[in-house]
Amino acid sequence: MDLTRQYEQMLGALLPRGPAWDKSEPLITGLAPSLQKVHSRGDALMVEIDARTVTELIDRYELLAGLPDSCAPAGTQNLPERRQRLDAKLNLAGGINEAFYYSQLAALGHPDATITRYGKSQFRCTSRCTDSGFSDEWRYFWQVNIPAATQISDMVCTDYCTSSIRSWGDTTLECVMMKLAPSHTYVTFLYLE
């Protein structure tokens, strides 16, 4: 049974009993389609609650979340990218540990990215062969390893002479990760091929 017919039955059930009222009253049959439209519109707006499926209210959500920001200026992203960035920002659960950064990488469209942390101690003659060979300063560096799925473009004959021979990277991902990184650390990015 369609929704309009259900509203006609519900409105008919609300009428007082007796011969004065008819369930096929034009008021009831005329009001039911309007109620059905309001009901359908309410259902459609329920989809707008989720940042991953928002369409109509995305501008309002972005305004509340402070987007677009310096990581993705206005007009540079399509709707799926805007949804992804909005979802990543709204569902940001705090914490400065690897699990937090892995969840952010996944939310930004890179679930297969990895993180490399460098050793926290200097290599000495008493160190094991598997210990890191980095100085103490390297404990403040960490690296995000991004698989080849990231856009990598090579220079072609029609490019300008000043063009880069090769360019790669996800500037939005890099910007977001650098903003989220603890202030005493440095993030580097490795794009694997």
Output the pLDDT for position 144. 92
Q: Which residue has the tokens 């359908």?
A: 40
Distances (CA, A) of 9 to 47, 111, 158: 27, 50, 69
Q: Are residues 105 and 43 in the same domain?
A: no
Q: Are residues 33 and 119 in the same domain?
A: no
Element (H, E) at 153: strand 152-154
What domain range is 31 assigned to? 3-47
Domain count across the chain? 2
Identify the residue with better confidence: 61 or 95. 61
Q: How far apart are CA 138 and CA 132, in angstroms?
A: 10
Q: Are residues 183 and 116 in the same domain?
A: yes
What pLDDT, in 10s, does the model give residues 43-65? Answer: 888 888 888 889 888 989 888 88
* Model confidence pTM above 0.85: no
Q: Are residues 182 and 109 in the same domain?
A: yes
Q: How far apart are CA 11 and CA 99, in angstroms?
A: 54
Q: Are residues 127 and 187 in the same domain?
A: yes
- 92-103 burial, b if ≥16 CB within 10 A, otherwise e? eeeeeeeeebeb
Check: CB of residue 138 under 8 Å from CB of residue 119.
yes
Output the pLDDT for position 122. 60
Q: Are residues 172 and 101 in the same domain?
A: yes
166 phi and psi angles, rounded to 5 deg: -150, 140
Q: How far apart are CA 193 and CA 81, in angstroms?
A: 23
Q: Are residues 116 and 184 in the same domain?
A: yes
Q: Both tokens of residue 154?
A: 């090579």
87 falls within a domain? no
54 falls within a domain? no
64 falls within a domain? no
What pLDDT, in 10s, does the model give residues 120-178? Answer: 556 667 766 666 566 667 778 889 998 876 567 788 888 888 888 877 777 788 888 88
139 falls within a domain? yes
106 falls within a domain? yes
Check: CB of residue 171 under 8 Å from CB of residue 191.
no
Q: Are residues 112 and 43 in the same domain?
A: no
Check: CB of residue 122 under 8 Å from CB of residue 137.
no
68 falls within a domain? no
Q: Are residues 41 and 123 in the same domain?
A: no
**Residue 39's CB: how many other CB atoms inside 10 A?**
14
58 falls within a domain? no
Output the pLDDT for position 8. 84
Mean per-residue pLDDT, 72-84:
82
Quick check: 99 pLDDT over 60? yes
168 phi and psi angles, rounded to 5 deg: -155, 170
Identify the residue with better confidence: 193 or 50. 50
Indicate the residue among 32, 47, 62 that finishes a domain: 47
